[in-house]
Structure 1
């Protein structure tokens, strides 16, 4: 079993000897066993903290590099115009402490989240066009970098 013990940050295509494709729920963990896309047994032994990002490299004790890939998984993408509609959608979804991926261009924006009928209803009421599909889920890392999930310990 290859032991992955070092985060290398974003790597260029071709730098890795193999890939490891994982859904979001596995990429939030620091220690687990997995099988690479080429069938090699891997043990991931990383410090707790940042989520493994699509395109990030992991180093083995032997000096090999394995590239992390975000797996396609069921998601909902809410499409809205850029500007205030996107800001309003992000505000209301983020106010519910859900993990979100955000993207778009100068004319159109989108917010991606795990399927949830309550969030879908909220997004629809805010004017979003919903798309249910499979796509990589690589959400925003949060305002504090390594902090992905936090306890609900602030006052209201």
Structure 2
């Protein structure tokens, strides 16, 4: 099986022969080593030196130089909004207090769909509407850089 040992980030991708694509949700985009098959049927072994988060628009480099495009799959999320900037910051604090992945935008926050958290948000004066879109949550404070890994150096609160 052909191996893939590196990734070109979307902002550094300038050229190359894209021969296939993989469509992955957030959980499946965090990888180090796994056998994969592109949508067009190209089989390969992703064999990276360390786990990274493959982002929408990145390219996986096959050992023969060909590229496999990474596409973020749409996921069922909650889009959380608030009536003011201060209210949104309060909601972000409450969401963060639950240690769940969240994508934070200027005017909204997105989390995995969860009816309990939706009710919490509504109870605090926000809105929580179901949407379907790619999920790109923040990396942890101990992760550094773009890789958005999971739990490296993270401590848990009991």
- Is the structural similarity TM-score above 0.5? yes
1:149 aligned partner: 150
Asked if structure 2 preserves the Cα contact closer than 8 Å seen for 1:49 and 1:147, the reply is: no
2:31 aligned partner: 29
Instruction: Give the 3 Å change call, closer, same or farther, for CA 153–129 of structure 1 in structure 2.
Output: closer
Count, aligned residues: 151
Q: Tell me which stretches of 4 or more aligned residues in structure 1 moved more than 4 Å.
A: 11-16
CA distance in 2, matches of 1:134, 1:16: 30
CA distance in 2, matches of 1:16, 1:84: 47
Instruction: Give the 3 Å change call, closer, same or farther, for CA 13–21 of structure 1 in structure 2.
Output: farther
Q: CA offset at residue 16 of structure 1?
A: 5.3
Asked if structure 1 preserves the Cα contact closer than 8 Å seen for 2:74 and 2:133, the reply is: yes
Segments of structure 2 that go 5 or more residues without pairing to the other structure are none
2:132 aligned partner: 134
2:76 aligned partner: 74
Length-normalised TM-score, structure 1: 0.82
1:7 aligned partner: 7
Q: Which of the numbers 87, 110, 124 marks the counterpart of 1:85?
A: 87
Q: Which of the numbers 112, 119, 122 marks the counterpart of 1:124?
A: 122
Instruction: Give the 3 Å change call, closer, same or farther, for CA 28–58 of structure 1 in structure 2.
Output: same
CA distance in 1, matches of 2:55, 2:66: 18
Segments of structure 1 that go 5 or more residues without pairing to the other structure are none
2:99 aligned partner: 97
